[in-house]
Amino acid sequence: MEIFYTEQVADGICMLDREESGHIVKVLRHRAGDELSLFDGRGNLYRCRLTDASPVAAKARVLEQIPDWGAVPYRLTMAVCPTKRNERYEWFAEKATEMGVDAIVPVIGDHSERRIFKTERLKKILLSASKQSLKGRIPAVEEPCTVREFIRRCDPSALRLIAYCFDMDGARRKAVGDVLDAQPGRPVSILIGPEGDFSREEALLALDSGFIPVHLGSSRLRTETAALAAVAALYVKYLCTSV
Amino acid sequence: MEIFYTEQVADGICMLDREESGHIVKVLRHRAGDELSLFDGRGNLYRCRLTDASPVAAKARVLEQIPDWGAVPYRLTMAVCPTKRNERYEWFAEKATEMGVDAIVPVIGDHSERRIFKTERLKKILLSASKQSLKGRIPAVEEPCTVREFIRRCDPSALRLIAYCFDMDGARRKAVGDVLDAQPGRPVSILIGPEGDFSREEALLALDSGFIPVHLGSSRLRTETAALAAVAALYVKYLCTSV
């Protein structure tokens, strides 16, 4: 199944941009009357009929709208520090999109080497990963903020987890899977630190703010691997309900 | 913590090859008498003292040997069809090594586009991933074989799972996590198909041979993502026991 992307849906008509129009009409040789599947990146899949096979501005009439298409049965925000090599962050974001994530927040920690992060390229990757994995909703990529800012503004009603690799007095880290099992149904936000881990001050602020400290096992995981292990923990937990 | 690799350990002496010797002596400027941590890729960590700081053939005396160092509490074989783009397979292998896998078997399916797979490059990646994630044992990379060969020769005492995306009469696919929970402690072998999925004949052969059909959710995961989700499912399941 191939799906196409459009942001512009109004009065039952989908307007396709130059890129998608060219792909549909020039590359795939679709003609007026053909049925297409479009999605708006906001959760909706549209079964459509191509009405104007323009190679630069095609139009399609909506036959059926399917909301929450390909949605996972949970809400997950991943706040992950940028990796030294951008491609590692990009594949984390691609894989997280395939499994299911609602928002990705690049957070800058006290020990982050990379303190600047451009989100444009990431958004393109998430669009194609959403197409590939048949998800109606493209994960949001938020503008970078510091770890402290994220801790302060993170929704307190969410299950907020922070994964760090050191010990803090009186704060025993639980296995991430156990915490997820214990509190099903709540939105989840997971903070993953940089190569140099969080600072003790960041960890303390998170604990004081109600974050639950978790561990991801004894393996020394790279930032992007730790982040993906956390996404997979949630994905696998809800598998049984998702087929 | 930095660890170095040597295959040659005899009579309490570790012999380092040209590459590691150069790294230790020229790059890191270690001198005779310094303490080093070496691993042999077969599960052993050696706490050593550098006795000969040769930049091409350094030697170190073993002070302490730690077996099963960094081992995960399960045995996992991942039989995964090559991806069209090699780098996608390589990152699966790197991430699987970080989380924990004992053997990776490139398997060629009826629908595999890529039917040739070179293992040399992968072995280098797994060595550095083992170093990075502090694992004493480097996962084995077996020579490629067909899916049918793997099914036939796969140890019947292992929990053998096959993940495909279609329905077969009388063989309901279970969520991979549920199957792993139901049969803890057994060695696990997981078969992951190519972009075009397994053929029905391959699936039938697997079922007839005692493989359990599993699903990885409703998301359309790329081959390497499906494989990593399965690795993560097992990794997260045993997290609680691993710190």
Residue A242's pLDDT band (cuts 50, 70, 90): very low
Are residues B207 and B110 part of one domain? yes
Tell how strand A140-141 and strand A103-108 pair up.
Answer: parallel
Are residues B34 and B119 part of one domain? no
Q: Which of B66, B90, B107 marks a domain boundary?
A: B66
Are residues A41 and A158 part of one domain? no
Kindly state whether residue A233 falls inside one of the protein's structural domains: yes
Taking residues A20-27, report their average pLDDT: 96
* Segments in chain B below pLDDT 50: 241-242
Strand, helix or coil for residue B52:
strand
Taking residues A88-117, report their average pLDDT: 95
Are residues A59 and A83 part of one domain? no
Are residues A227 and A190 part of one domain? yes
Kindly state whether residue B229 falls inside one of the protein's structural domains: yes
Chain B: give the shortest CA distance to residue A243, in Å.
Answer: 5
Please report the ipTM that was assigned to this predicted complex.
Answer: 0.90
Chain A: give the shortest CA distance to residue B154, in Å.
Answer: 25
Q: Do A99 and B217 touch (CB under 8 A)?
A: yes
Taking residues A68-82, report their average pLDDT: 94
Name the β-bridge partners of B194: none
* Ramachandran region, residue A12 (left: φ > 0; alpha: ψ -120 to 50; beta: rest): left
Lowest mean pLDDT among A49-58, A159-168, A169-178, B21-30: A169-178
Kindly state whether residue B106 falls inside one of the protein's structural domains: yes
For position A240, what pLDDT does the model report? 63
A218: pLDDT strictly greater than 90: no
Residue A185's pLDDT band (cuts 50, 70, 90): confident
User: Which residue in the set B173, B218, B232 is minimally distant from A232, CB to CB?
Assistant: B232
Question: Which whole-number Å values give the CA distances from A98 to A75, A131, A241, in the listed order?
Answer: 14, 9, 17
Burial of A168: CB neighbours in 10 Å, binned 0-12, 13-18, 19+: middle
Q: Which of A15, A43, A66 marks a domain boundary?
A: A66
Question: Which whole-number Å values give the CA distances from B55 to A126, A128, A148, A167, B174, in the listed order?
Answer: 46, 48, 45, 38, 55
Give B-chain residues touching A98 at CB under 8 angstroms.
219-222, 225
Q: Do A133 and B220 touch (CB under 8 A)?
A: yes
End-to-end CA distance of chain A: 17
Residue A133's pLDDT band (cuts 50, 70, 90): very high
Are residues B224 and B135 part of one domain? yes
Are residues B27 and B86 part of one domain? no
Are residues B189 and B92 part of one domain? yes
Segments forming the whole domain that contains residue B62: 4-66
Token representation of residue B172: 């309901």
- pLDDT tens by residue, B88-103: 999 999 999 999 999 9
Are residues B57 and B81 part of one domain? no
Are residues B98 and B55 part of one domain? no
Kindly state whether residue B71 falls inside one of the protein's structural domains: no
CA dihedral A102, A106, A108, A113 (to 10 degrees): 140
Q: Which amino acid is at B172?
A: R
CATH number of the CATH domain containing B181: 3.40.1280.10
Q: Give the rounded percent of residues in chain A with a pLDDT score beyond 90.
A: 84
Taking residues A48-52, report their average pLDDT: 97
User: How much is the mean pLDDT over chain B?
Assistant: 93
User: Which residue in the set B70, B173, B232 is minimally distant from A236, CB to CB?
Assistant: B232
Kindly state whether residue A71 falls inside one of the protein's structural domains: no
Chain A: give the shortest CA distance to residue B221, in Å.
Answer: 6
Instruction: Determine contact: B116 vs chain A, CB below 8 A.
Output: no
Kindly state whether residue B133 falls inside one of the protein's structural domains: yes
Q: Which of B25, B48, B66 marks a domain boundary?
A: B66
Taking residues A210-217, report their average pLDDT: 94
A8: pLDDT strictly greater than 80: yes
CATH number of the CATH domain containing B17: 2.40.240.20
Are residues B181 and B91 part of one domain? yes
Q: Please state the domain count of chain B.
A: 2
Strand, helix or coil for residue B159:
strand
Q: Which amino acid is at A139?
A: P
Question: Which whole-number Å values give the CA distances from A20 to A5, A61, A192, B103, B127, in the listed order?
Answer: 7, 16, 35, 42, 43
Are residues B176 and B113 part of one domain? yes
For position B240, what pLDDT does the model report? 62
User: How much is the mean pLDDT over chain A?
Assistant: 93
Angle between helices A223-237 and A86-99 (to 10 degrees): 0
